[in-house]
Chain A
Amino acid sequence: MEGCCGLRVGQKVPDFKIETFDPEVGGFGEICSEDLRKKGSWTALFFYPADFTFV
């Protein structure tokens, strides 16, 4: 999907996979949409511009 519009409420989120740093375990990991569905989790994805910023 192109950046012009993005997803709308009610649409299925395409599969994704991202690398993570997990402070709770103090290590790197990976999160994918399939695992979240299997676990039956509600997910909040919280985007922000950059680390070391202020807001």
Chain B
Amino acid sequence: MITVSTDTKFVHLAWQMDEPMLKNVKYPMGSDPTGKLSKTFGVYDEESGLSQRGVFIINPEGVLVSSEVNHIDIGRNSDELLRKLQANIYKSSHPEEVCPAKWHPGEKTMRPAPEFVGRAGEAYVQQEALRKR
């Protein structure tokens, strides 16, 4: 986890020291004063010179696997970020499976197959029922 804004590293230091809510921060706070990295991800706002609220997951090979941008006044959901990260990690070692909506680690995944085409909901319910027995 790396946070990024267009503030300098000196401002990050001052903020982290000053704001009690940030007392337990363990992640590095990145500085993008030129907006270069923000532009790469399409979250640089030219008018204000600030970054939008975007969060991006990058896999160990350096490929972007998840992308989300919120309105500047709307906060994100760290549970959902963690869920997407876990699903991507699972997917990387189980490439033939898919993680359904709201999937969490340990829950049933699905394997796309011809007999499920047009019957995904039905197949999922059946698999869920079997799992809960």
Contacts and interface: CB of A to CB of B under 8 A. Distances in A.
B64 A10 contact: yes
Majority-rule SS of B interface residues: mixed
Given A20-B29, A44-B85, A51 B15 contact: yes
Contacts of A44: 1-2, 55-58, 81, 85
B104 interface: no
B59 interface: yes
A2 B41 CA distance: 9
Interface in A1-55: 1-14, 16, 18-24, 28-29, 31, 33, 36-37, 40-52, 55
Contact of B9 (A3, A19, A37): A19
Interface in B4-39: 4-16, 18-19, 22, 25-32, 35-39
B53 A55 contact: yes
Nearest to B10: A21
Contacts of A1: 39-40
Interface residues of B, number: 67
Contacts, number: 175
A9 B42 CA distance: 12
Given A9-B66, A14-B40, A43 B50 contact: no
Given A20-B9, A23-B25, A45-B55, A52 B67 contact: no
29 contacts: A1-B40, A7-B42, A8-B67, A9-B65, A12-B62, A12-B64, A13-B58, A13-B64, A18-B2, A20-B29, A21-B10, A21-B29, A23-B28, A36-B58, A40-B60, A42-B58, A42-B60, A42-B85, A43-B1, A44-B57, A44-B85, A45-B2, A45-B4, A45-B55, A45-B56, A46-B2, A47-B56, A51-B15, A55-B72
